[in-house]
């Protein structure tokens, strides 16, 4: 009987400790800064899942590549677009990287002003990190 009472008392004390710990956690100040976002502007933007695979054109409306992927640097500040150039059915493609802000989005088209297939092929080949 004494063992049962001791066990019940211990369980009750543990329960009170857990409740007290949770109550303290609720008073912790928030450390993440929240910024207001213009939801209408964001909603009218382009989804990454829709941009990837899109053709990239030059000013002459010629296809010069396709967007293979979108990357962000580890600090999250600089976005880039990985373009696949040339090739056929995934064979012989050459991947290159351009700054995302160098692409222009207008009339449901993605344009790289001043871009040519030859110019893009001269850029260093890009390879994804193994990490």
pLDDT, tens digit (0-9, with 9 covering 90-100), for 6-37? 444 454 454 555 555 555 556 666 677 788 88
Question: What whole-number distance in Å separates Cα of residue 116 and Cα of residue 118?
Answer: 5
93's CB contacts (< 8 A; 6+ apart) are 84, 85, 86, 87
In the chain the domains, ranked by start, together with CATH numbers, are 47-121 (2.30.30.240)
Question: What whole-number distance in Å separates Cα of residue 101 and Cα of residue 36?
Answer: 23
* pLDDT tens digit sequence for 95-111: 999 999 999 998 889 99
Question: What whole-number distance in Å separates Cα of residue 73 and Cα of residue 5?
Answer: 60
What angle is formed at CA 85 by the lines to CA 82 and CA 91, rounded to 5 degrees? 110
Listed residue (61, 48, 49, 77) closest to 110, CA to CA: 61
At residue 53, the 3 state secondary structure works out as: coil
Q: Output 56 or 14, whichever has higher pLDDT.
A: 56
Listed residue (114, 76, 67, 73) closest to 95, CA to CA: 67
């Amino acid at each position: 009987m004494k063992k049962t009472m001791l066990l019940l008392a211990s369980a009750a004390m543990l329960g009170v400790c857990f409740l007290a710990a949770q109550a303290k956690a609720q008073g912790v100040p928030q450390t993440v800064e929240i910024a207001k976002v213009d939801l209408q502007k964001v909603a009218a933007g382009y989804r990454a899942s829709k941009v990837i695979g899109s053709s990239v054109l030059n000013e002459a409306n010629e296809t010069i590549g396709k967007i293979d992927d979108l990357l962000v640097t580890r600090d999250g500040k600089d976005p880039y677009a990985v373009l696949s150039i040339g090739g056929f059915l995934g064979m012989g493609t050459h991947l290159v990287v351009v700054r995302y802000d160098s692409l222009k989005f207008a009339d449901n088209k993605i344009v790289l002003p001043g871009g040519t297939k030859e110019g893009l092929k001269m850029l260093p080949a890009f390879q994804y990190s193994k990490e």
